[in-house]
Amino acid sequence: MSRKNQTLGEFIIENQSSFKYTSGELSRLINSIRLAAKVVSHEVNKAGLVDIIGAAGDVNIQGEDQQKLDVYANDKFIQTLKNRNIVCGIASEEEDDFITINSQDENNQNKYVVLIDPLDGSSNIDVNVSVGTIFSIYRRVTPIGTPVTIDDFLQEGNQQVAAGYVVYGTSTMLVYTTGAGVNGFTLNPAIGTFYLSHPTMEFPENGNIYSVNEGNYIHFPQGVKDYIKYCQMEEDNRPYTARYIGSLVSDFHRNMIKGGIYMYPKSSKATNGKLRLLYECNPMAFIAEQANGKASDGVTRILDIKPTELHERVPFFCGSKTMMNTLEDFIQKGK
């Protein structure tokens, strides 16, 4: 029976039997993500004291300027996953292509691939605003013992076996699901241990927070514009409160706890949206649905979208069910 202040390690062992592929590998995989998260958390928390803030001088596959902490977090997560010899492939938002893990054992039996956004919202580091890590785990679809292929990564989100995020804020929290609810663990930095602090996390059925970059309002589809105006009307417990941090992990985390909706629609500037289906939308959608929330591109359930490329972008909306249903009605009417 899970209990508050239980360590993450104890929780993983105690709940291992509820996972349908129980073999211990997924538990070791979550443990390695936990280890890398602690290392990155330590570096984030001393960012103002060492030469780790600012741009790294490179541009990633997304065409975005890489921050020094982007590179650091990417290296740490990949290195930790490789060293533990528990995955057969990794795809990172910061890498051009997926990484094949060649085990020293010729009969490599590793079954899992990891897709990761090592440091979501990293441009906020310089101004001391919360950032995060997002991860997604799948069982490979190609034969075990062979090198992974792109097919192992281009799976629909409904095939995820686990997903989670780490938020580096006033405290460091690791939140994850294996398809049996969502639980949050807070790091005690004095001893380096994560403790269960938020058991069985769920979105309230309704909320009063909307999170969107209103600076792009003029570029949004008409249905999204209409919904934003609806949020601002003085009627039926409205206007809602506008809260937008610019870090998906932070905005999502707040809305899950307090009740709200997050929106990153397509626009005339980004016709396919901006967020990445595999590294951001799928894992957050899986968590949202496991936490009594909802996630879609405005029309289609995120977890049912078939990916066609590694760095594919889609519009993304997620949050409390009542707010999501109202938004989708506005999008349908605004066509």
Is 274 marked as binding a ligand?
yes
Same domain for 220 and 173, yes or no, is no
pLDDT tens digits for the chain (335 residues)?
Answer: 567 779 998 898 888 766 666 567 888 899 999 999 999 998 887 655 444 444 544 555 555 556 678 888 999 999 999 888 889 999 999 999 999 987 555 556 889 999 999 999 877 777 778 899 999 999 999 998 889 999 999 999 999 999 999 999 889 999 999 999 999 999 998 999 999 999 999 999 999 999 999 999 999 999 999 999 999 999 988 999 999 999 999 999 999 999 999 999 999 989 999 999 999 999 999 999 999 999 999 999 999 999 999 999 999 999 999 999 999 999 999 86
CATH number at residue 156: 3.30.540.10
| Residue 85 domain-assigned (yes or no) | yes
Total tally of structural domains belonging to the chain: 2
Same domain for 304 and 190, yes or no, is no
Is 122 marked as binding a ligand?
yes
Same domain for 37 and 157, yes or no, is yes
Is 93 marked as binding a ligand?
yes
Same domain for 189 and 50, yes or no, is yes
Is 280 marked as binding a ligand?
yes
Listed residue (102, 197, 200, 115) closest to 145, CA to CA: 102
Handedness of CA 307, 311, 314, 317 (dihedral sign): positive
3-state secondary structure 173-240: EEEEECCCCCEEEEEECCCCEEEEEECCCCCCCCCCEEECCHHHHHHCCHHHHHHHHHHHCCCCCCCC
Give the CB-side neighbour count of residue 51, counting CA atoms within 13 A.
1
Single residue among 198, 231, 249 that ends a domain in this structure: 198
Single residue among 198, 223, 257 that ends a domain in this structure: 198
| Residue 204 domain-assigned (yes or no) | no
Same domain for 27 and 166, yes or no, is yes
Is 214 marked as binding a ligand?
no
Residue by residue, DSSP assigns 135-166 as EEEEE--SPTTS---GGGTS--GGGEEEEEEE
Same domain for 254 and 173, yes or no, is no
Handedness of CA 34, 40, 44, 50 (dihedral sign): positive
**SS3 at position 115:** strand
| Residue 140 domain-assigned (yes or no) | yes
CATH number at residue 287: 3.40.190.80
| Burial bucket for residue 248 (CB in 10 Å: 0-12, 13-18, 19+) | buried
**SS3 at position 280:** helix
Is 17 marked as binding a ligand?
no
β-pair partners for 112: 87, 139
| Residue 1 domain-assigned (yes or no) | no
Contact indicator for 212, 228 with CB cutoff of 8 Å: yes
Range of the domain at 266: 209-333
pTM here is: 0.92
Is 119 marked as binding a ligand?
yes
The H-or-E segment that residue 251 falls in is: helix 248-258
**SS3 at position 241:** strand
Same domain for 293 and 166, yes or no, is no
Is 121 marked as binding a ligand?
yes
